[in-house]
């Protein structure tokens, strides 16, 4: 689906810092985990924004803040223009209904002692105003049908389903309150490759059917490609590059995105010929000890003295500002440039 111009979510300067403590009896703060460290983006109505990044870069923390499961340390989240981080009581509850989360692991996120009907209908216990009591069972069965499961399964337990079916149950629960926004945190990572596409296709169909806006999180750039209108790449708590699907995949300008993409297989042999394989060295720094200036510089082959001093802004790099081409999208690099990268599987040498 393509986006309209109207934003449904506007995220600005979003931060989540956790205190890092030592000791059990006398907790002493010895540092700060900067899980999310200044994130900005907008999500258009009807749009799908994919967020990708390595383990620990803050994706789930971001998702939880959007769904009001974690309070931000700083920054704002606007839903249809209203800052939801400042709401409480009834107003907060009303907004919560509208932004629902689908979790990563269908094996651990569904209570094994509850029937499928109770799991999908649980949101109605929290929001009784959403459906009259006598109507709930019928609604749950309709939701099962909507996600492609037999409505007669309503009294079964999670262990009686496959991984893909369980994720459908999780999606049905996410839809129960008829939200406008779905935040899906790695919705297919725990599933077999053969089942991943089915769940992605289901999400795609539901989006059209229920006019949903999606934020879909993944480790892997190839998973979000199929459904995203735009993609944001996260590194150590920040978005380092964001743009339309084709801009990010075919014209990445941030070295980190280029490195991630060089690990994604590309079927087109013509495109392959012009690509270069990039292997990142070193580990991701700890979120308790983020490098000064550009946080990617410790692993970047282009890093210069300026990168240690100046935090690069997430903006269209000046050298692309006058062009309307696909490289002219937001990238947080002092030395942003277009680069074609070679896919990993096409080369014999593994990661170095
Ligand atoms: N409640 C918490 N207290 C302290 N640190 C936390 C807490 N939750 C997350 N973190 C830390 O914040 C960082 C970001 O975690 P988060 O779960 O958001 O990453 P992620 O991108 O979702 O990773 P993954 O791909 O493994 O799911 C990690 O270093 C994590 O250890
Ligand atoms: Mg996560």
Q: What is the pLDDT of residues 224-272, one digit of tens each?
A: 888 899 999 999 999 999 999 999 999 999 999 999 988 776 666 666 5
Q: Per the domain annotation, does 79 fall within a domain?
A: yes
Q: Per the domain annotation, does 243 fall within a domain?
A: no
Same domain, 187 and 260: no
* pLDDT (0 to 100) of residue 351: 40
Q: What is the pLDDT of residues 262-319, one digit of tens each?
A: 877 666 666 655 566 788 888 889 999 999 999 999 999 999 999 999 999 999 998 8
Same domain, 219 and 311: no
Same domain, 164 and 124: yes
Q: Per the domain annotation, does 231 fall within a domain?
A: yes
**Percent share of the chain, pLDDT over 90:** 70
Q: At what angle do helices 116-126 and 163-175 cross, to 10 degrees?
A: 20
Q: Per the domain annotation, does 259 fall within a domain?
A: yes
Q: What values do phi and psi take at 138, rounded to 5?
A: -60, -40
**Closest-approaching ligand to the CA atom of 29:** 1
* 98-107, 116-125, 145-154: the lowest-pLDDT one: 98-107
Output the pTM of the full model.
0.91
Q: What is the pLDDT of residues 82-92, one digit of tens each?
A: 999 989 888 88
CA 65 / ligand 1 centre spacing (Å): 12
* pLDDT (0 to 100) of residue 176: 96
Q: Which residues line ligand 1 (CB under 6 A)?
A: 18, 33, 35, 53, 55-61, 219, 287
CA 104 / ligand 2 centre spacing (Å): 8
If pLDDT is split at 50, 70 and 90, which confidence band does 124 have?
Answer: very high
What is the domain-level CATH number for residue 98?
A: 3.40.50.300
Q: Which of 204, 235, 266 is the last residue of a domain?
A: 235
- Atom of ligand 1 at shortest range from CA of 234: 21
* 58-67, 134-143, 337-346: the lowest-pLDDT one: 337-346
What is the C-alpha separation between 103 and 110, in angstroms, rounded?
9
Same domain, 185 and 268: no
- Atom of ligand 1 at shortest range from CA of 60: 22
Whether pLDDT at 47 is above 50: yes
> Is there a contact between 139 and 92 (Cβ–Cβ < 8 Å)?
no
Same domain, 98 and 185: yes
* pLDDT (0 to 100) of residue 350: 38
Q: Please, what is the average pLDDT of the chain? A: 90
Same domain, 218 and 306: no
**Closest-approaching ligand to the CA atom of 284:** 1
Q: Average pLDDT of 126-141?
A: 92
- Nearest alpha carbon, ligand 1 atom 7: 18
Q: Per the domain annotation, does 314 fall within a domain?
A: yes
The larger pLDDT score, comparing residue 351 to residue 47, is at: 47
Q: What is the Cα Rg of the chain in Å?
A: 21
Q: Which of 206, 235, 264 is the last residue of a domain?
A: 235
CB atoms within 10 A of CB 194: 8
Whether pLDDT at 145 is above 70: yes
**Closest-approaching ligand to the CA atom of 62:** 1
Q: Per the domain annotation, does 2 fall within a domain?
A: no
- Nearest alpha carbon, ligand 1 atom 12: 35
What is the C-alpha separation between 337 and 333, in angstroms, rounded?
9
CA 131 / ligand 1 centre spacing (Å): 35
The larger pLDDT score, comparing residue 340 to residue 119, is at: 119
* pLDDT (0 to 100) of residue 283: 84
Same domain, 260 and 218: no
Domain that holds residue 312: 253-341
CA 237 / ligand 1 centre spacing (Å): 10
Same domain, 205 and 260: no
Whether pLDDT at 116 is above 70: yes
Q: Per the domain annotation, does 248 fall within a domain?
A: no
Q: Burial letters for 113-148: b for 16+ Cβ neighbours within 10 Å, e otherwise?
A: eebbbebbbebbeeeeebbeeeebeebbbebbebbb
- Nearest alpha carbon, ligand 1 atom 30: 56
- Terminal CA-CA length for the chain: 38
Same domain, 65 and 206: yes
The larger pLDDT score, comparing residue 5 to residue 234, is at: 234
Same domain, 222 and 311: no
Distances (CA, A) of 19 to 13, 39, 68, 199, 284: 19, 19, 19, 37, 20
Q: Average pLDDT of 186-215?
A: 93
Same domain, 199 and 290: no
**Closest-approaching ligand to the CA atom of 286:** 1
- Please choose from 17, 19, 27, 33 the residue to mutate so as to test ligand 1's pocket, defined by most ligand atoms within 8 A of CB: 33
Whether pLDDT at 3 is above 60: no
For the chain, the domain total comes to: 2
Q: Which of 188, 205, 235 is the last residue of a domain?
A: 235
Q: Per the domain annotation, does 247 fall within a domain?
A: no
Residues bordering ligand 2, an ion, CB closer than 5 Å: 59-60
Same domain, 310 and 230: no
CB atoms within 10 A of CB 211: 11
Q: Average pLDDT of 65-91?
A: 94
């Amino acid at each position: 689906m393509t986006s309209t111009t109207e934003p449904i979510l506007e995220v600005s300067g979003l931060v989540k810092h956790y205190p890092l403590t030592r000791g059990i009896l006398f907790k002493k703060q010895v540092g700060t985990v900067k899980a999310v460290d200044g994130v900005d983006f907008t999500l258009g109505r009807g749009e799908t924004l994919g967020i990708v990044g390595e383990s620990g870069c803050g994706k789930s923390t971001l998702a939880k803040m959007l769904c009001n499961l974690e309070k931000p340390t700083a920054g704002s989240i606007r839903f249809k223009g209203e800052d939801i981080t400042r709401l409480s009581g009834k107003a907060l509850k009303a907004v919560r209904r509208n932004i629902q989360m689908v979790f990563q692991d269908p094996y651990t996120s569904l209570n094994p002692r509850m029937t499928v009907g109770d799991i999908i209908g649980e949101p109605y216990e929290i929001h009784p105003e959403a459906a009259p009591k006598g109507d709930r069972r019928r609604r749950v069965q309709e939701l099962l049908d909507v996600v492609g499961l037999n409505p007669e399964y309503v009294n079964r337990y999670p262990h009686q389903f496959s991984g893909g079916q369980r994720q459908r149950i999780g999606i049905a629960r996410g839809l129960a309150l008829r939200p406008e926004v779905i935040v899906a945190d790695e919705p297919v990572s725990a599933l077999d490759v053969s089942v991943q596409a089915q769940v992605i296709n289901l999400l795609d169909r539901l989006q059209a059917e229920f006019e949903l806006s999606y934020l879909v999180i993944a480790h892997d750039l190839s998973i979000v490609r199929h459904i995203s209108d735009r993609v944001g790449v996260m590194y150590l708590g920040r978005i380092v590059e964001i743009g339309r699907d084709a801009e990010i995949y075919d014209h990445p300008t941030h070295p980190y995105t280029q490195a991630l993409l060089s690990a994604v297989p590309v079927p087109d042999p013509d495109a392959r010929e012009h690509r270069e394989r990039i292997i990142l060295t070193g580990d991701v720094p700890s979120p308790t000890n983020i490098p000064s200036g550009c946080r990617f510089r410790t692993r970047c082959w282009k890093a210069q003295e300026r990168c240690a001093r100046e935090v690069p802004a997430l903006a269209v790099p000046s050298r692309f500002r006058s062009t309307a081409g696909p490289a002219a999208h937001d990238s947080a690099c002092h030395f942003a440039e277009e680069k074609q990268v070679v896919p990993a599987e096409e080369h014999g040498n593994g990661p170095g």
